[in-house]
Amino acid sequence: MTQSSTLPPITFDRYHLPNGLEVILHQRAATPIVHVLVWYHVGSKDEPSDRTGFAHLFEHMMFQGSKNVGKTEHFTWVQGIGGVTNASTSQDRTNYFQTVPREYLGLALWLEADRMRSLNVSEENFQNQLSVVKEERKQRYDNQPYGLRYLTMLEMLFGGSSYGWGPIGDMAHLDAAPLQTVQEFHQQYYVPNNAVLILAGDFDPEEARRLIAEQFGDIPAGGAIQRQFNPALPLTQQLRHTITDQVPFPSVSIGFRSVPIGHPDQQALALLGNILGGGASSRLSQSIVHDQQLALQAYSFNLPQERDGMFLMQATAMHGVGVERLEEALWEEIEKLRTEGPTQHELDAALNKTEAALVRGLGSAQSVADMLAQCQVFQQDPARVNRLLDEYRSVTVDDLRRVAQHYLSPNSAAVLHYLPNGWN
């Protein structure tokens, strides 16, 4: 039975500048800080298949200086006033943020506007950050235990589509890219009409509007955004792959295609992932880790993306446990969900955890800003943040059984075994 939301609504003002920049202002006076967030609607899925890694490259390039800000001075300015700043890249977006004392809002806006207007995309900066990205690739993926697990699952689930690679990209593509191609990518996507600016925190709204118009208003709009998206073909048979590497224990990953952001089944799949493998009380932890002692850890989650999604399960074997037995145990738990479905008690517990997470998120200006940005960029509906809890509460046990049967089919799964060198 659907309940009415008891969470306080997230209030905001939304408008746009003539150059296309979307602006969302969310006031909260709990602490004397303001979170300044810019989301560019560009991620790895927007890259050509032979030019991957560009969006992540610009996550780094955007700190390499602009007309009035020297190389890495963005960090120096923000950290010098006691603030924090960083950035991240996904398949669908790239974000840049800083949290600063409220009296330095003007500085934060000036820094973001200066690089939006005049980023220094030079050969020197390109080559410098290419070296940084290569080192990151080695440390986080190539030389990390199980480091290729996520990238391999993307290839298996979305091969041939725009989601078939991760943001880190292919280093050979970046090596082969001329500076002009890098500059063209920047000119196409890092423009005000492909961005949303969000302020969340303690600020005067009239002053904020004045500063935003002053700093961003004269930045020229870019051309119309031409997106080329190649959807993945349906999976009609189970795909299997094995990686042998320097890892301590075997692991099994099972992936399924799920749904994009905003799909009616999104919240049911999120709750299903929580029930199946979302913590110590989940089915995987209780059965496979605790009772059967087959795995050191086991978890699952649903990851919706702008145009598609995936549901992932992963388990790392206990010492002496074979990979085949571990995979068998995972399928047993999936089959129980598909045939019997979860209990009302499990659904209620998952809902309680979800509500607690939403309440915690409301206490953070950064978390609220990110939720507003996601709803704006992917659905053009920032007010959806106030309907999320009711969407979760509308899910029933019958919904959970239905989505388990529909999406978690062995015939459309990707199965990855990660084995230690010399394993037999």
- Give the distance from CA 46 to its chain's centroid: 15
Mean pLDDT value across residues 318-338: 96
Give the chain's mean pLDDT.
95
Q: What mean pLDDT is predicted for residues 212-241?
A: 95
- The predicted-structure confidence for 126-147, as pLDDT tens digits, reads as follows 999 999 999 999 999 999 999 9
- Candidates 304, 305, 315, 302; CA nearest to 272 is 302
**pLDDT for the residue numbered 103:** 97
Strand order in the sheet with 309-317: 239-245, 413-420, 251-257, 309-317, 295-304
Q: How many CB atoms are located within 10 Å of the residue 176 CB? A: 11
What is the percent of the chain with per-residue pLDDT over 90, rounded to a whole number?
95
Reported as a pLDDT band with limits 50, 70 and 90, residue 240 is very high
Tell me the per-residue pLDDT of 54-66, one tens digit each, with 9 for 90 and over: 999 999 999 999 9
Map out the domains of the chain with their CATH numbers: 13-216 (3.30.830.10), 239-420 (3.30.830.10)
d(CA 388, CA 60): 33
Phi and psi dihedrals of 378, rounded to 5? -95, -20
308 CB neighbour count, 10 Å cutoff: 23
Mean pLDDT of 394-417: 97
pLDDT digits (tens, 9 = 90+) for 10-69: 999 999 999 999 999 999 988 899 999 999 999 999 999 999 999 999 999 999 999 999
- Kindly state the average pLDDT of the residues 71-97: 97
Q: With bands split at pLDDT 50, 70 and 90, how would you rate the model's confidence at 287?
A: very high
pLDDT (mean) for 119-126: 95
Q: What is the pLDDT of residues 162-196, one digit of tens each?
A: 999 999 999 999 999 999 999 999 999 999 999 99
Residue 288 pLDDT > 80: yes
**Neighbouring residues of 204: CB distance < 8 A, sequence distance ≥ 6:** none
Please tell me the distance from the alpha carbon of residue 227 to that of residue 235, in angstroms, as a whole number: 24
pLDDT at 424: 66
pLDDT of the residue at 2: 40
Kindly state the tokens that stand for 94: 């790239």
The pLDDT score that the predictor gives to residue 331 is: 98
pLDDT of residue 1: 37
